[in-house]
Amino acid sequence: MKKILIFILICFLWSFDLVDYSLYQKDDMPSKIKSSFIYNFAKSFQWPESNNDQFSIAILGDNTSLLNYLTEMSNTKMIGTKKIAVKKYNSISEVSKPEILYILPDKSSALSDAVTKFKGKGTLLITEKAGSANAGAAINFVIENNNIKFELNKTSAGKAGLVVSSKIETMALKVF
Amino acid sequence: MYKKLNILFFAFLFAFAFNSIYAQTYKVQQAYDCVKAGKLDSAKYYIEFSMNDSLAKSDFQTWYIKGFIYKELYKQRESENITSSARKIAVESFNKALELDKEKQQKESIVQNLKFLGSKYFNDAKKTIDSVNYTKSLDCFNNYINIYKSVDSNFDEKSKSIEYYLSLSYYFQEIYERSSSSKALDKTKDYLFKALEINSNSIMANKNMAVLYYNMGVNIIKKMDYDVDLEELYKLQEEATKLFKNAEPYMTKAYNLSPGDRTILEGMQGIYYQLNDAEKSNEFKKKLEDLNKQN
């Protein structure tokens, strides 16, 4: 028994420290990319005049890392002179009148209610579900060749009271 | 081990003392006497002097004594010196002794001495395996490999080399992750490729290569500022996607070789997640969950 233990000890000492995944990063990059898109939208769309001292981004549904990235962004960036406020909601009825409402896939059924509720109120509706750009969302994230891109529905944006910049239109994968 | 080596050596010296050939090689005899008395400097002087004698020089026993003297010098005075010349001379002398010992009279003892010195090279290779001393570490490792493969027919050179190159790549990867140094990145890749050249089916080498590419992709997006413009955002995203795609075949190979490995399943899930392939990412997420249920 003693000999076996010594043999095991020698084998252990006589090997290099094999590296197994200690450097593996588990960051959610799609969420960071979407946050950067949202910041670009916030800078590039034109909103109706408002007296709000904050630029409000509402998240409807669950995506903790997206919420974290947007919160991080809000701590360092501003839209013009306005601070960014990010808040998560579970129901469309709780959302008051944000500049941006991002409806996550688990709450995609709330899109039609959101379209009705925020019609002409200067809220940019963002989704990430196939067909949503045709169902009232102004921006819908899609995947093309493993990259995140977006579709733009100018009509929906117009109905919401928003003016679309030419840059956004140019960069959209598809414009409705 | 030291005790056994010394017993073997003094048993050898006993035989040597009565060997008539050495009546002619007086200096070797003096070197032997000095070793016995622990006078290593004198022993070194006499053994070096005896190398001028062609008869002594052609006998394995002279080289054996020389090897022993230098080994003792290394142990007593240079054991902390990774570039010890005494150790180098000891190895050369024992190798010469092995070559000349045609009748294998002292083979066992010579081999044990070489293994001892080889193990010291291995320890030094391990001790110096960092980004600053890595060339010294490589030298030590090569010395270790050369010694062991010449004296141990069961020695697994390939697996030891893979372990070593993976460890070396790790140190450079750590530096790359900290500093984004392109030199460190190149070194990381070089040593991972070396490991894969030796065995393209090494699970660890494939996995680590995948992780390297994966992290490179992650780092591009992590460093990206939120207010990067849309053209740049597309460009950076494509660069990251390309790296995630580079990671995929290595991780897939590792997965095929070891489908029940939790870290590989996590890696597959992670790569497909970053590639926005929800279907495949969820497939591996489910496999992970199933594995967790089993355990």
Q: Which residue of B has its CA nearest to A31?
A: B274
Q: Does the distance separating the beta carbons of B245 and A30 come in below 8 Å?
A: no
Residue A12 binned pLDDT confidence (cut-offs 50, 70, 90): very low
Instruction: Confirm if A131 and A153 have CB atoms less than 8 A apart.
Output: no
Output the pLDDT for position B45: 95
| Strand locations in chain A (E) | 54-60, 78-79, 82-89, 100-103, 124-127, 139-144, 147-152, 174-175
The CA dihedral of A56, A62, A65, A69, to the nearest 10 degrees, is -10
CATH architecture of A31-175: 3-Layer(aba) Sandwich (3.40)
* Sheet of A174-175, strand order: A78-79, A82-89, A54-60, A100-103, A124-127, A139-144, A147-152, A174-175
The three-state (H, E, C) secondary structure of A43-72, written as one string: HHCECCCCCCCEEEEEEECCCHHHHHHHHH
Quote the pLDDT of residue A131.
95
Cβ contact A36–B173 (<8 Å): no
The half-sphere exposure of B255 on its side-chain side, counting CA atoms within 13 A, is 18
Nearest neighbour of A33 by CB, restricted to B237, B270, B273: B237
Identify the H or E element spanning A17: none
Task: Quickly count: other Cβ atoms within 10 Å of residue B45's Cβ.
Answer: 16
For residue A63, the chain B residues in CB contact (below 8 A) are none
**Mutation site, B226, B227, B234, interface A, largest A CB count within 10 A:** B226
Specify the pLDDT at position B88: 98
Residues of B with Cβ-Cβ distance to A19 under 8 angstroms:
166-167, 169-170, 173, 204, 208
- Asked if A16's CB is within 8 angstroms of B163's CB, the reply is yes
Identify the pLDDT of residue A95: 97
Write down the mean pLDDT value for chain A.
90
% of residues, chain A, pLDDT over 90: 82
Residue B96 domain flag = yes
**Rg over CA atoms, chain B:** 27
Q: What is the DSSP letter of B78?
A: I
For residue B86, being part of any structural domain is answered with: yes
User: How do strand A100-103 and strand A54-60 relate by DSSP bridges?
Assistant: parallel
Q: How far apart are CA B71 and CA B116, in angstroms?
A: 9
Residue B251 lies in a domain: no
Classify residue B22: in a domain, yes or no.
yes
> Which residues from chain B sit within 8 angstroms of residue A77, using beta carbons?
226-227
Question: Could you give the C-alpha distances from B210 to A142, B218, B284, in angstroms and in order?
Answer: 26, 12, 16
Domain boundaries, chain A: 31-175
A104-160 tens-digit pLDDT: 999 999 999 999 999 999 999 999 999 999 999 999 999 999 999 999 999 999 999
Task: Identify the residue among A7, A9, A33, A57 best suited for mutation to test binding to B, counting B beta carbons within 10 A and taking the highest.
Answer: A33
Task: Give residue A9's pLDDT.
Answer: 44
More confident residue, A60 or A52: A60
Number of domains observed in the structure of chain B? 1
Residue in chain A closest to B272 (alpha carbons) equals: A146
pLDDT attached to residue A51: 83
Pairwise CB contact (< 8 Å): B274 & A40: no
Q: Check if B8 contacts A (Cβ < 8 Å).
A: no
The b-or-e profile of B102-112 (16+ CB within 10 A means b, else e) is: eeeebeebbbb
What is the model's pLDDT at position B16? 56
**Which residues, given as ranges, of chain B have pLDDT below 70?**
1-25
Query: What range defines the domain where residue B75 resides?
Result: 1-101
Q: A146 and B244 in contact by Cβ < 8 A? A: yes
Task: Say yes or no for a CB contact (<8 Å) between A28 and B129.
Answer: no
Interchain pair B126, A148: CB under 8 A = no
User: What ipTM score was computed for the predicted complex, to two decimals?
Assistant: 0.89
Nearest CA distance, B211 vs chain A (angstrom): 6
Give domain status of residue B50, yes or no: yes
The pLDDT score that the predictor gives to residue B25 is 65
> What pLDDT score was predicted for residue A7?
42
User: What mean pLDDT do residues A40-52 have?
Assistant: 92
Element (H, E) at B31: helix B26-36
B224/A30 CB distance under 8 A: no
- Mean predicted confidence (pLDDT) in A154-174: 96
